[in-house]
Amino acid sequence: MLLHPPVVHFAIAIPVVASIFGLLYLFKRSEGLSKISARLTVFAAIAVAAAWYTGSKAGPQIYDYLGAAGQHELLEHKELGLYLAIAFGVIALIQFAGCQLKKFPLQALSIVALLGATATVFVQGKDGGEIVYKYGQPFKAPMILESIKEAQASADDEEECDAQVELYSDAVDDALSVSEEVQAIYAEPDEHAEEDDEDEDE
């Protein structure tokens, strides 16, 4: 099962909360808000780093199931994720140092940078959504389509009906195999298998 999808929610939510408390600190400049903002920014950096790490592990599992455009988008998504992880780490260090040293300019600088980084997180989230819903469909359509096209091309060269049927049958088997592999990656239940089990119980 991929850990990236659930981790991403934290990588989006925590930076937003950290940004809100950062803005509150800029207006009120209280010591309590300073500490809360600094600690939340550290948690945000951890969440973004975790999202990048889990994404780097998930990427190779889905890469082959994407078309050329999806693969390109996935590589760009991974690269931006690394830049965000580094940026949030630096921002967290600056803000934490500003909090400990009680240097308002340092904290103000880090909070402004945090706002920019948080906005970029939403861009990253949009790109991740496109990989899933625009290019993935859901990570198996390109391979299934390629298998069917190959079967069609080979069947056109065959004169015997039995040979043509066998080629298309092999294509169907390949499509089912791809579907099972994707379901294993996402730990999705096989609805047809569940229906078969229910029929056997009856």
Tens-digit pLDDT profile for residues 3-49 = 888 899 999 999 999 999 999 999 999 999 999 999 999 999 999 99
The domain in which residue 151 lies consists of 141-201
Q: What is the pLDDT of residue 167?
A: 63
Which of residues 136, 167, 185 is at a domain's end? 136
| Residues 6+ away with beta carbon under 8 Å from 58 | 2, 3, 4
Of residues 189 and 145, which shows the higher confidence score?
145
Of residues 110 and 149, which shows the higher confidence score?
110
Based on the domain organization, do 19 and 103 belong to the same domain?
Answer: yes
Number of domains composing the chain: 2
Each residue's pLDDT tens digit, 67-100: 778 888 889 999 999 999 999 999 999 999 999 9
Based on the domain organization, do 25 and 125 belong to the same domain?
Answer: yes
Based on the domain organization, do 120 and 170 belong to the same domain?
Answer: no
Length of the chain equals 202
Based on the domain organization, do 34 and 56 belong to the same domain?
Answer: yes
Based on the domain organization, do 54 and 16 belong to the same domain?
Answer: yes
Q: What is the pLDDT of residue 1?
A: 47
Neighbours of 83 (CB within 10 A): 13
Based on the domain organization, do 122 and 150 belong to the same domain?
Answer: no
Which of residues 136, 154, 182 is at a domain's end? 136
Q: Exposed, middle or buried, 49 (CB in 10 Å: 0-12/13-18/19+)?
A: buried
Buried b (16+ CB within 10 A) or exposed e, 2-15: eebeebbebbbebb
Based on the domain organization, do 111 and 34 belong to the same domain?
Answer: yes
Based on the domain organization, do 145 and 132 belong to the same domain?
Answer: no
Which of residues 90, 113, 136 is at a domain's end? 136
Based on the domain organization, do 40 and 102 belong to the same domain?
Answer: yes
Range in 17-26, 107-116, 121-130, 148-157 with the lowest mean pLDDT: 148-157
